[in-house]
């Protein structure tokens, strides 16, 4: 099946610094990618929808100036956590679909990135 | 979006068949039913998807009654490695919109 690769898988950063997470669709083009956040023992919460060549659409309560999303190509979306604080420590997951114009497709998920802010 | 309700947790033993039922009373005509599996510190992995009746693949079966207000994921002869969280999602994943995750079911398989 299609593969979505996320990097890094784990990162530790100091409070106040910024961290960039990459999400790549390896064998298909993804017009849209999605970013989730998952806290321990909780479900995945959609943060934003990343659209190639345009601004991301953020879910209610997600600060767009703190979580910068760039979708510069059909195979790469990045999430930058700016001025990270300990409460931003979480598991971040991206997903993408190779819709190809179909009305319903399978979503492929990256491996996730464990962010720890110290 | 159709809301889903699943048991919070289930316990089983190796070799048993496990059935996880999901309720989705307000499923829409165009909605599909999709199940994902997630291991700790990993992204969700697609298990199976269906629209109606029964769907079977190499890892699971999905039973959907005629009214489509519920669905049952069936895992035959589970092993320890099937211990994971299983999510039932209802909706249409068009590539331009995504599905909403509910709380999921934590399945614990014991020896």
B37 pLDDT above the threshold of 70: yes
Q: Phi, psi at residue B44, to the nearest 5°?
A: -60, 150
Nearest to B41 among A104, A109, A112 (CB): A112
Q: The tokens 């309560």 sit on which residue?
A: A61
Q: What is the pLDDT of residues B47-80, one digit of tens each?
A: 999 999 999 999 999 999 999 999 999 999 999 9
A95 touches chain B (CB under 8 A): yes
Q: The tokens 């409070």 sit on which residue?
A: A15
Mean pLDDT, chain A, whole residue set: 90
Separation of alpha carbons A20 and A39, rounded Å: 19
Separation of alpha carbons B20 and B11, rounded Å: 11
Please give the radius of gyration of chain B, using alpha carbons only, rounded to the nearest integer.
13
Residue of B nearest to A90 (CA): B41
Which percentage of chain A shows pLDDT scores above 70?
92
Residue numbers in chain A where pLDDT is lower than 50: none
B98 touches chain A (CB under 8 A): yes
B32 neighbors B49 (Cβ within 8 angstroms): yes
HSE of B14, CA atoms in CB hemisphere, 13 A: 5
Q: Residue B2: what pLDDT?
A: 64
Element (H, E) at A110: none
B55 touches chain A (CB under 8 A): no
A50 neighbors A76 (Cβ within 8 angstroms): no
Nearest to B93 among A91, A93, A97 (CB): A97
Report the residue count for chain B: 111
A42: which 2 tokens?
A: 């909780």
B35 touches chain A (CB under 8 A): no
């Amino acid at each position: 099946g299609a593969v979505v690769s996320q990097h890094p898988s784990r990162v530790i950063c100091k409070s106040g610094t910024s961290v960039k997470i990459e999400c790549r669709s390896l064998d298909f083009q993804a017009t849209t990618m999605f970013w989730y956040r998952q806290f321990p023992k909780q479900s995945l919460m959609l943060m934003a929808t990343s659209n190639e060549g345009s601004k991301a659409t953020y879910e209610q309560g997600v600060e767009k100036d703190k979580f910068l999303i760039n979708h510069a190509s059909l195979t790469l979306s990045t999430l930058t956590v700016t001025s990270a604080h300990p409460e931003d420590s979480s598991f971040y997951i991206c997903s993408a679909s190779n819709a190809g114009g179909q009305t319903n497709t399978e979503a492929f998920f990256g491996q996730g990135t464990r962010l720890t802010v110290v | 979006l159709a809301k889903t309700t699943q048991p919070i947790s289930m316990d089983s033993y190796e070799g048993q068949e496990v059935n996880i039922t999901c309720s989705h009373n307000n499923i829409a005509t165009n909605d599909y039913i999709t199940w994902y599996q997630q291991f700790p510190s990993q992204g969700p992995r697609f298990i199976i998807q269906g629209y109606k009746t029964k769907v079977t693949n190499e890892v699971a079966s999905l039973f959907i009654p005629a009214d489509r207000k519920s669905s049952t994921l069936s895992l035959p002869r589970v092993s320890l490695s099937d211990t994971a969280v299983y999510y039932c999602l209802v909706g249409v994943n068009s590539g331009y919109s995504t599905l909403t995750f509910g709380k999921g079911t934590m399945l614990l398989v014991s020896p």
